[in-house]
Chain A
Amino acid sequence: MATISQINAAVAGLEAWFETMRSPSGYGGPVAHWWQQSLMYTGTGLDWRYEGIIIGYLQLWERTGDKGWLVKARRAGDDLLAGQLEDGHFAASAFELNPATAGTPHEAACDVGLLRLAIAIRKAEEQDWEKYAMCAERNLQSFYIKELWDAQVQSFRDSPHIPSFVPNKAATACDALLLLATVTGNALWIERYVIPTLDRILEHQVCGRGRLDGAIAQNSFGDRRVEKYFPIYIARCIPALLQGFRLMDEEKYAEGALRAMQFIARWRYEDGSLPTVVYDNQRVNRYPSWIAALGDILRAADELQSSGFSADLTATESRLLAGQDHSGAIQTATGFAAQLRARSEPILDLRDVLHVAGWCDKAFRYLTTKAGPELPEAQTSRFEIACKFQGQILRLVETPETLEVHRGRNVCYCWHKSESWPRIASPEFWLH
């Protein structure tokens, strides 16, 4: 595994890069994702990036004792407070579907960040923890309970109007409700909402069937299950299942979490990467092969150690750390261009090398569990790389102030960090 100085250097670099992604209202930047991109909306996204950012800063505070990190965690919490709409939603909370609001699991992930912040401040006997808890509770009450809770099937929908269930998103809602129960001391949140939801997650888990054992189906519409298994999303189910086990002392949750992680470990490649999706017929799409998002896999594996999970994930951690470049950020993936033909190309796709706050936060959250007691000084530097996008050879140049993409001598994409839209975006960047 990496040395502490490697971890500290990586965390310091990431943190310096996050600072460059801030506008007065919060952390922005384009998004590359499996199904869709948000290369056009580049403003603040009050989505799951806040989960990893807030928790990462809190972990740094805890591990270094430097109160400056708490100040930054509070600043991120204040972004969410300022961006909460009258109806309880957070503005632009849909990540790759931004600038829409009411994004899932994004708003619950913001609530997780806010509640962890409230708990940490309260524990330190500092002022003002209540406002963060109230902000999260308001969102959970008005959106998750009032709009998404399906009393008939006893679980959270993914959309108010469609009978649907997405295990990893529901797990994030459970994470938030478990924290809310801690803050309020009210176990009703757990009994009424968390336990039935965890049971529904387990209903989506594959039992037996060889290499698929332990996988958790991506989603369902009514009774129709979509049998696609995404390791990074399955990993996000694990902490809630483990917490369910700790609270209820029911083995099935621990066993479910362990089998989910064993499924992930079983499909790992030698280089530490994972397939992006495993289909029910056991075919895979290896691409885009995530890098920054591996933080969530490594975090889940760490949490499972006490439940008997033991696999060597050194290669996965090395892949994560090797993805860091001069900007301080961690590369999103490799092989976006191979999504279609399954053949990786020698030159990376633009979306591979794009740094995304909502992926880098996963790396930040994981790495900060191991950082400290002191971080080195770090600065973000100019990062420049050749890449390809829709058949064209381009050059991506990121500085602390701007992100530009050049085609020959022309600039075909130019985003001034802190602005909500790129100043220049030729039609290929309109891609969703």
Chain B
Amino acid sequence: MIGTLPMSARAPLDYRYAFDAAMSIFAGNSAPLVLCNVPELAGEIRQRIPDWAETNTAAAGLWVEPLVGTWRDDIKSLAVGLEAGAPLVIIISRSLAQLLLERRPWRGNPLGFRPGGAFQVRRALHRAGFLMEASYGIHSALAVGLNTSGQVMDYLRRPDLGDRLRFAARPHYCKSGLFSASGTVMLLVARKELVRT
């Protein structure tokens, strides 16, 4: 059933935003193959995709948090597990995500924390037969700055300005293209090539 994770157990907004975005990319496909390396995020995924495909060939894929030790193997299994033409959404934590209090207890060594880590993933995906379609940076540095300024305004007893700064942050929460590197979480959209040459 959709909608089963209590509010108090929610993942940080950065990841929820990325999962919701992924759902529109999966629209029209059957249940995607999910490869999630962060147990703390499994509940958020499960409440959106109650019956995700775990082993069989799937028409879409979601890969959450490539890790330093296993990311190459993950790409191999995704290349085998996805049908030609299948969209693959990759969610990668960036170094700015280390500021998120909620994710501090999370284990694992995210590849995205390393300089060039996300680029390595893109290059390897290309070699494995995936075409990159788009990249987005979620919770951009600009949004972080505006939200922080909003908190400062609250502290200075100007919550009216604080709220406005938070509203100003919202359209900047997601950045695409070159600016996608600036954010706590990166969302990549790839597609498995129809014909491998």
Q: How far is the CA of A93 from the CA of B4 in the complex (A)?
A: 9
CB of A416, distance to nearest CB on chain B (Å): 10
A103 at the interface (CB under 8 A from B): yes
Residues in chain A within 8 A of chain B (CB atoms):
40-41, 43-46, 83, 85, 89, 91-94, 97-104, 159-161, 226-228, 277, 279-281, 283-285, 339-342, 390, 420-425, 427-432
Say whether B3 contacts A92, CB under 8 Å.
yes
Say whether A283 contacts B2, CB under 8 Å.
no
Say whether A100 contacts B20, CB under 8 Å.
no
Q: How far is the CA of A102 from the CA of B7 in the complex (A)?
A: 6
B23 at the interface (CB under 8 A from A): yes
The answer to whether residues A40 and B28 also contact, given A99-B48, A277-B163 and a CB cut-off of 8 A, is no
CB of A406, distance to nearest CB on chain B (Å): 16
Say whether B160 contacts A283, CB under 8 Å.
yes
Q: Which residues of B contact A431 (CB under 8 A)?
A: 170-171, 173-174
Q: Which residues of A contact B151 (CB under 8 A)?
A: none
Q: Tell which of B2, B20, B21, B167 touches A339, judged by Cβ atoms closer than 8 Å.
A: B167
Q: Which residues of A contact B8 (CB under 8 A)?
A: 102, 159-161
Say whether B1 contacts A85, CB under 8 Å.
yes
B69 at the interface (CB under 8 A from A): no
CB of A277, distance to nearest CB on chain B (Å): 7
Q: How far is the CA of A285 from the CA of B1 in the complex (A)?
A: 39
B120 at the interface (CB under 8 A from A): no
The answer to whether residues A340 and B3 also contact, given A102-B8, A279-B159, A281-B157 and a CB cut-off of 8 A, is no
Which residues of B in the span 151-179 have a Cβ within 8 Å of any Cβ on A?
A: 157-160, 163-164, 167-168, 170-171, 173-174, 176
A228 to chain B: closest residue by CB: B159
The answer to whether residues A91 and B24 also contact, given A159-B7, A285-B163, A432-B173 and a CB cut-off of 8 A, is no
CB of B52, distance to nearest CB on chain A (Å): 14
B17 to chain A: closest residue by CB: A432
Question: Which 8 pairs across A and B sit closest by C-beta, in order of nearness?
Answer: A92-B3, A99-B3, A102-B6, A425-B24, A40-B20, A91-B3, A283-B160, A340-B167
Q: How far is the CA of A430 from the CA of B26 in the complex (A)?
A: 14
Q: Tell which of B7, B26, B164, B167 touches A94, judged by Cβ atoms closer than 8 Å.
A: B7
CB of A344, distance to nearest CB on chain B (Å): 14
Say whether A100 contacts B24, CB under 8 Å.
no
Q: Which residues of A contact B16 (CB under 8 A)?
A: 432
B176 to chain A: closest residue by CB: A427
B10 at the interface (CB under 8 A from A): yes
Q: Tell which of A101, A280, A424 touches B24, judged by Cβ atoms closer than 8 Å.
A: A424
B63 at the interface (CB under 8 A from A): no
Q: Which residues of B contact A104 (CB under 8 A)?
A: 7
CB of B154, distance to nearest CB on chain A (Å): 9
Q: A99-B47, A424-B27 are in contact. List 5 more A-B contacts (CB 8 A).
A: A85-B1, A102-B7, A103-B7, A285-B164, A430-B17
B100 at the interface (CB under 8 A from A): no
The answer to whether residues A41 and B160 also contact, given A85-B4, A91-B1, A427-B176 and a CB cut-off of 8 A, is no
Q: Which residues of A contact B130 (CB under 8 A)?
A: none
Q: Which residues of A contact B7 (CB under 8 A)?
A: 94, 97, 100-104, 159
CB of A287, distance to nearest CB on chain B (Å): 10
Say whether A98 contacts B3, CB under 8 Å.
yes
Which residues of B in the span 16-64 have a Cβ within 8 Å of any Cβ on A?
A: 16-17, 20-21, 23-24, 26-28, 47-48
Say whether A427 contacts B159, CB under 8 Å.
no
The answer to whether residues A423 and B28 also contact, given A100-B10, A160-B8 and a CB cut-off of 8 A, is yes
Q: Tell which of A44, A339, A427 touches B174, judged by Cβ atoms closer than 8 Å.
A: A427
Say whether B3 contacts A43, CB under 8 Å.
yes
Q: Which residues of A contact B136 (CB under 8 A)?
A: 427
Q: How far is the CA of A98 from the CA of B26 in the complex (A)?
A: 18
Say whether B4 contacts A91, CB under 8 Å.
yes
CB of B79, distance to nearest CB on chain A (Å): 26
Q: How far is the CA of A34 from the CA of B42 in the complex (A)?
A: 29
Q: Which residues of B contact A280 (CB under 8 A)?
A: 157, 159
Q: Which residues of A contact B168 (CB under 8 A)?
A: 340
B5 at the interface (CB under 8 A from A): yes
Q: Which residues of B contact A285 (CB under 8 A)?
A: 160, 163-164
Q: Which residues of B contact A227 (CB under 8 A)?
A: 159
Q: Which residues of B contact A93 (CB under 8 A)?
A: 3
Q: Which residues of A contact B195 (CB under 8 A)?
A: none
The answer to whether residues A281 and B158 also contact, given A422-B27, A427-B176, A431-B173 and a CB cut-off of 8 A, is yes
B99 at the interface (CB under 8 A from A): no
The answer to whether residues A430 and B174 also contact, given A279-B159, A281-B158 and a CB cut-off of 8 A, is yes
Q: Which residues of B contact A277 (CB under 8 A)?
A: 163
Q: Which residues of A contact B28 (CB under 8 A)?
A: 423
CB of A252, distance to nearest CB on chain B (Å): 29
Q: How far is the CA of A428 from the CA of B5 in the complex (A)?
A: 25
CB of A230, distance to nearest CB on chain B (Å): 11
16 sampled A-B residue pairs with Cβ under 8 A:
A40-B24, A41-B20, A43-B3, A89-B4, A92-B2, A99-B5, A160-B8, A339-B164, A421-B23, A423-B27, A427-B21, A427-B176, A430-B24, A431-B170, A432-B13, A432-B170
CB of B171, distance to nearest CB on chain A (Å): 5
Say whether B47 contacts A421, CB under 8 Å.
no
A427 to chain B: closest residue by CB: B174
Q: Which residues of B contact A43 (CB under 8 A)?
A: 2-3
Q: Which residues of B contact A159 (CB under 8 A)?
A: 7-8
Q: How far is the CA of A100 from the CA of B44 in the complex (A)?
A: 8
Q: Which residues of B contact A44 (CB under 8 A)?
A: 3
